[in-house]
Structure 1
Amino acid sequence: MNIWGKLSNRGWRLKSWKSLLALFLVGVSLSSVMASCSNSNTSSSVAANKSDVELTLVSFAVTKAAHEAILPKFVQKWKQEKSQNVTFKTSYGGSGSQTRAVIDGLEADVVHLALASDTGKISQAGLIEPGWEKEFPNNSIVSKSVAVLVTRDGNPKGINNWNDLAQDGVGLITADPKTSGVARWNFLALWNYVIKTGGDEAKALDLVSKVYQNVPVLTKDAREATDVFLKQGQGDALINYENEIILAQQKGEKVNYVVPEVNISIDNPIAVVDQNVDKHKTREVAEAFVKYLYTDEAQQEFAKFGFRPVTESVAQNKEFSAKYPKVKNLGTVQDYGGWDKVQEKFFADGAIFDQIQAKTQR
């Protein structure tokens, strides 16, 4: 090939590379535009179509009946207002067990647990942003109750107050504080009784130790404790949520119970699981659902199923004010330094509850 042919080929190759480069740049530009259009279309499509959304609610066992009444109302309300279908996946169990499940990977969008320390553990695991208590009204307490003593028909053992549970020959059914938030409230109610009636911590430890000596078996949660007492006929007395016993009565169970005048306010928090709602892109509907739980409509449903209302407007309703008489001497977890201190003092590994258990023979 002559020199001109070589130069001609080089020129052609140079032009070809320039052409290819130009085509490449045009392709990149078009791809960017198409991607932008695609993203825009996708966003507008989602907004326009209002595709269905699924929320996972993880809650402690005794809220099941109330939530089953509340969830359809929210679904209907959201459909009317947003033209979007919401479905719920639900999980109910002991508060401690539910907490561990969420930390271990159960992708809850919303958690409604028995006590703030369980929610705090999920926050410490990085799933819920710090300051969650201030996200919703009433320090994010969405349901509450008190502890009651349930006895056999005619109350043959004469159990009317907390100290009666320490009598010889009394069999008490309660859940395990290691797995059940309700059980931690039960334990604190016993301790609170001694302190509120003028006793010191030594007397409180003595009473609580004697009471747990009378527990033949610790159930995993409040619902199982109720079944063991009412359905299996074990024990002379049961400590449980007031709402759980009211629900049992509504189901036709004949239940004898007293609400001790010295009691503990059992406060149950709600929280959005930030990491999961951001992953699922469900934050808007999750936050709307939690806010809905504070409405009079939702609080009335909680009250129908035995929970004391957290909103004053519902609490003052004649139906519910008669159903839930005020407790004369009502303690709170804040009286004992809050749940972090209570957990460390009573329920951490090797703490007071474990020490009592080590001395308890079953």
Structure 2
Amino acid sequence: MALWQRPLRSLQANWFRLNSLKGLVSLFLVGAVLSVALAACSGGNVSSSNSTAQTPGASPVSAKKQNVELTLVSFAVTKAAHEAIIPKFVEKWKQEHNQTVTFNQSYGGSGSQTRAVIDGLQADIVHLALGLDTQKIEKAGLIQPGWEKKVPNNGIVSKSVAAIVTRSGNPKGIKTWADLENDQVKLITADPKTSGIARWNFLALWNSAIKTGDDEAKATEFVTKIYNNVPVLTKDAREATDAFFKQGQGDALINYENEIIFAQQKGEKIDYVVPDINISIDNPVAVIDKNVDEHGTREVAEAFVQYLYTPEAQQEFANWGFRPVNETVAQTKEVSDKYPKVKTLGTVQNYGGWDVVQNKFFADGALFDQIQAQKKR
């Protein structure tokens, strides 16, 4: 896209202008908080902290200059955590290297952020909602293979689990995934064909069946029954949240634990349950190799990524609703009380990784399409 080839300042201004139009829509109550937090398929918003303009593709020796500018592209609900982490890294880097680092920050739906980077958004670092999105950027030739081996925890820097949001007082007595099979319980969720969070929702249901001993035939029957109780699949998680909270549809909503905690910190009262059998919602971070080499920012970008794994940064993730990947932080009383241990936790790797999962469940003609086709008969 020609737009992305312009200098970063022009990119930033146009990107912000485009998305600020979307921000004019007024939301209210719980739907307001969760709608903004989820923003599962909406566009990003670029902002600059302590901005010093530099041209993308500048000399690779920029790391030796007094000022260095990085562009961080992330999914929407990480904004509060990153805005707490970045100043600490900037101060640390200044003390150790006598160099000022400024950040351009872009937040939006993980899928739209991924497309923007592939189309030319000059990100130095991406922090996305699911590994499938990072793999798409790798396949586009922007990230070198093996990126996940260069950082701790196979590239996963933040994580969450799935939760079931209920109506006040939980009148349907929903406690487990199996309770969603009841044809008297209407579930609100987005379409996994179009929404990243909805893919995690599907995996949470599939995982719960497999982890309780079902074979794949039984697991298919289980998730089919539940999706038969979905009155309408929304395009994205924002629409699902609006349907549940603002329009009063359904008895339950599947959501990320971190977004519920974020809403509660904003003063909202939400009834929810975190099932004992759950899926680990893992969010990867990666350096965009092609861009950092062009910008001359590799040293600083890699240092920032490493900093995200430190106890200081991981505590900030924990403060803003994410389960920390740093065990020292995770085992503190404050964090362990806030995030009770899940009894049985599955991962996407249990099911072959994202390439296998995408082809098996979400590709055209795959299992989810088959479930929907059966539902229509």
Cα distance, 1:79–1:165 mapped onto 2, change above 3 Å:
same
Specify the code of the residue in structure 1 equivalent to 2:210: I
State how far apart, in whole Å, the 2-side matches of 1:274 and 1:198 are. Answer: 42
CA deviations over 1:241-297 (Å, ceiling 9, x no partner): 111111111111101111111111111111001011112222121111111100111
Q: Which amino acid aligns with 2:269?
A: K
Q: Secondary structure of 1:142's partner?
A: strand
Between 1:320-329 and 1:221-230, the stretch displaced more is 221-230
Could you tell me which runs of 5 or more consecutive residues in structure 2 were left unpaired when the two chains were aligned.
1-57
What is the identity, as a one-letter code, of the residue corresponding to 2:324?
P
The correspondence of residues 41-120 of structure 1 with structure 2, limited to 5 A, is 50-51=66-67, 53-120=68-135
Q: Which residue of 1 aligns with 2:268?
A: 253
Structure 1 counterpart of 2:66, which letter?
K
Change in Cα spacing, 1:309 to 1:223, as seen in structure 2 (3 Å) is: farther
Q: Distance in 1 between the 2:236 and 2:257 partners? A: 15
Does structure 1 residue 314 correspond to structure 2 residue 329?
A: yes
1:168 to 165, 180, 183: 183
Distance 1:322 1:223, change over 3 A: farther
What's the secondary structure of 1:133's corresponding residue? Answer: helix
Greater helix share, 1 or 2? 1
Task: Tell me, yes or no, if the aligned pair for 2:63 and 2:296 is still in contact at 8 Å.
Answer: no
Q: CA deviation at 1:219?
A: 4.2
1:57 Cα deviation (Å)? Answer: 1.6
Match of 1:182 in 2: 197
CA RMSD of aligned residues (A): 2.3
Matched letter for residue 50 of structure 1? Q
Q: 1:67 & 1:182 partners in 2: Cα distance?
A: 20
1-structure distance, mates of 2:93, 2:234: 38
Match of 1:138 in 2: 153
Q: Partner letter of residue 215 of structure 1?
A: V
SS in structure 2 of the partner of residue 355 of structure 1: helix
- How far apart, in 2, do the equivalents of 1:221 and 1:256 lie? 22
Q: Between 176-185 and 189-198, report the one with greater CA deviation.
A: 176-185
Using the TM superposition, name which of 305-314 and 174-183 deviates more: 174-183
Contact persistence 1:95–1:114 (CA under 8 A): yes
Indicate whether 1:200 and 2:204 are aligned: no
Distance, in Å, in 1 between the alignment partners of 2:177 and 2:286 is: 32
| C-alpha spacing 1:178/1:99, structure 2 compared with 1 (3 Å) | farther
Pick closer, same or farther for the CA change 1:57–1:184 going to 2, 3 Å: same
1:338 maps to 2:353 = yes
* Residues in 1 aligned to 2:233 and 2:169: alpha-carbon distance in whole angstroms: 25
Distance 1:148 1:100 in 2: 28
1:356 maps to amino acid: I
1: CA distance, partners of 2:341 / 2:63:
48
Distance 1:103 1:182 in 2: 20
2:338 to 304, 314, 323: 323
Q: Does 1:149 align with 2:164?
A: yes
Are 1:352 and 2:367 counterparts?
yes
In the TM superposition, residue 95 of structure 1 has moved relative to its aligned partner by 2.1
Structure 1: gaps spanning 5 or more residues = 1-41
Query: CA 1:312/1:359 → structure 2, altered by over 3 Å: closer, same or farther?
Result: same
Who is 1:13 aligned against? none
Q: Distance in 1 between matches of 2:102 and 2:167?
A: 41
Distance of aligned partners of 1:54 and 1:180 in 2 relative to their CA distance in 1, 3 Å threshold: farther
Q: Which structure has the greater CA radius of gyration?
A: 1
Q: Aligned pair in 2 of structure 1 residues 288, 154: CA closer, same or farther (>3 Å)?
A: same
- Map Cα deviations across residues 26-48 of structure 1 (whole Å, 9 max, x no partner): xxxxxxxxxxxxxxxx99x9677
Q: Offset of 1:135 from its aligned partner?
A: 1.1
Q: 1:193-232 residue pairs with structure 2 within 5 A?
A: 193-222=208-237, 225-232=240-247
- Cα distance in 2 between the residues matched to 1:137 and 1:180: 28
How far, CA to CA, are the matches of 1:359 and 1:46 in structure 2? 57
TM-score (ref. length: structure 2) = 0.78
Shift of 1:169: 3.6
The alpha-carbon distance between structure 1 residues 103 and 162, as it changes in their structure 2 partners (threshold 3 A), is same
Cα drift, residue 323 of structure 1: 1.1
